[in-house]
A = this chain, B = another copy of it.
Amino acid sequence: MCELLGMSANVPTDICFSFTGFLHRGGGTGPHRDGWGIAFYEAGGYREFRDPHPSVHSPIARLICDYPIKSNIVISHIRQANVGQVQLANTHPFVREMWGRPWCYAHNGQLADWQALPLSFYRPVGSTDSEHAFCWLLGELRGAFPEPPEDECQRHALQETLHRLCERLRGLGVCNLLLADGDYLYTYCSTKLAHITRRAPFGRASLSDAELTVNFAEHTTPNDVVSVIATEPLTDNEEWVSMMPGELLVWQAGMIQAQFNK
């Protein structure tokens, strides 16, 4: 199984603390040695870093820990290969452009009969069930919504469609996933995903996977709202909320903006 990490914040925020803990699961405290990746939506753009090598030994991963990239949405993934060999094309996150926006996707789980999911606009570059499912999902969304939603009603319809598509993937196996378009972060739980929202008064947090404590009060302003979503809680002194199977959360600016249940 792979590990997922996501962030949604109302101010550009770096993910160095959470990523440092997460990183240790990539061949350190965890068995996830088969590559890793991280995508940032920053003011004015999108970029990603991916490496097919274990994250604990990756100089690129070390750079990400040390170089605070300020972002409103982050998606990261550490891979333990099941379908598709260990290579760059099979490392998450995957990205495709729809409506002039970069859509980014990472998946934890394993699907059956995924080859039968029909593809239209998008085709996988690698050989994973995850990327095939992403190409299918985004193609279905684009077929149903050739143009981006223009009002709250259309946005709700889009999110309902997305939930229905996620539920179809859950019918094929384990499918925890993170998806983002720069404005919204979508988190869908099939078996395991937990989240925490940090806001004033900020306190201390200590990582479960590495010897590191941070006092968020020193790095934030009173209006900051920062939510972190991960396969397993990353800290051992805070209350994380477990998502329910079949639950889709829509995050915007650090807060849950909509929720869909099975």
Contact = CB atoms under 8 A, between A and B. Distances in A.
Nearest to A67: B59
A6 interface: no
A20 B102 CA distance: 30
A96 B97 CA distance: 7
Contact of A101 (B42, B99, B101, B125): B125
Determine the interface band of chain A, counting residues with CB < 8 A from chain B: 20 to 34
Contact of A50 (B47, B60, B121): B47
A87 B124 contact: no
Nearest to A131: B100
Nearest to A100: B123
Majority DSSP secondary structure for residues of A touching B? mixed
Interface in A75-119: 85, 87-91, 96-97, 99-102
A126 interface: yes
B102 A125 contact: yes
Nearest to A127: B44
B123 A45 contact: no
Contact of A44 (B51, B67, B87): B87
B45 A88 contact: yes
A46 interface: yes
Nearest to A59: B67
A179 B40 CA distance: 25
Contacts of A100: 123-125
Nearest to A58: B67
> What 6 A-B pairs are tightest by C-beta distance, nearest first?
A45-B88, A44-B87, A45-B89, A100-B123, A47-B50, A44-B88
Interface of A: 42-52, 59-60, 63, 67, 85, 87-91, 96-97, 99-102, 121-126
22 contacts: A42-B88, A44-B85, A44-B87, A44-B88, A44-B89, A44-B126, A45-B52, A45-B87, A45-B88, A45-B89, A45-B90, A45-B125, A46-B89, A47-B48, A47-B50, A47-B51, A48-B48, A60-B63, A60-B67, A97-B125, A100-B125, A102-B125
